[in-house]
Every structure is written in C-alpha cells, then in structure tokens.
C-alpha cells in the first residue's frame, strides 16, 4: 500500500521505519546531526517549502520531509 506524504509524493507503507515530529525530535543533537548528514549525502526528499512538521525514515535510508503532522501520517499508515 502507498501512503501520500504530501504534495503528490507517495511512499510504500511497508518501507516506512518511522514518522517523527520535527518539533520534538530535533531537540536532540543526534537527530539534528542525522538530518544534516542525510542532507549532505543527498538522502533527503522535501515534499514542501512550507514549515515542515514531520520527517519519515524509510528502509532505503531516505528521509522524506513533510508538512503533514505525524498524527495525520500515522492515521494514513493505519
């Protein structure tokens, strides 16, 4: 099953490792460093230029930035 993660982008539900809230998870230095390293390595897909509310980590080691809340994405995943 595919999950709409924002602005016409789809991710396979089976590949999603986790959905993380940008406000609470980026407080930790480790998470900020992980996101910065992922960006430098070209493993970040931004679905929006709006304020990001969540990021999705998938088993292919890609990070998808979304304007949708973690609760909205979690509801779509089921």
pLDDT band (50, 70, 90) for residue 77? confident
**What are the pLDDT digits (tens) for 17-50?**
999 999 999 899 999 999 999 999 999 999 988 8
- Cα–Cα distances in Å, from 35 out to 20, 25, 41, 66? 12, 11, 10, 13
pLDDT band (50, 70, 90) for residue 65? very high
* Domain ranges within the chain, ordered by starting residue: 2-77
Provide φ and ψ at 55, rounded to 5°.
-135, 150
The per-residue pLDDT for 74 is 85
Q: Which residues of 32-69 are buried (b: 16+ CB within 10 A; e: fewer)?
A: eebbeebeeeebbbbbeeeebbbbbbbeeeebbbbbbe
The per-residue pLDDT for 49 is 85
């Amino acid at each position: 099953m595919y999950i709409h993660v924002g602005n016409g982008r789809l991710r396979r539900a089976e590949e999603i490792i986790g959905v993380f809230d940008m406000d609470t998870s980026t407080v930790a230095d480790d998470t900020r460093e992980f996101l910065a390293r992922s960006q430098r390595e070209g493993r970040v897909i931004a679905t929006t230029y709006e304020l990001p509310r969540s990021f999705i980590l998938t088993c292919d080691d890609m990070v998808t930035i979304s304007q949708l809340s973690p609760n909205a994405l979690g509801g779509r995943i089921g």
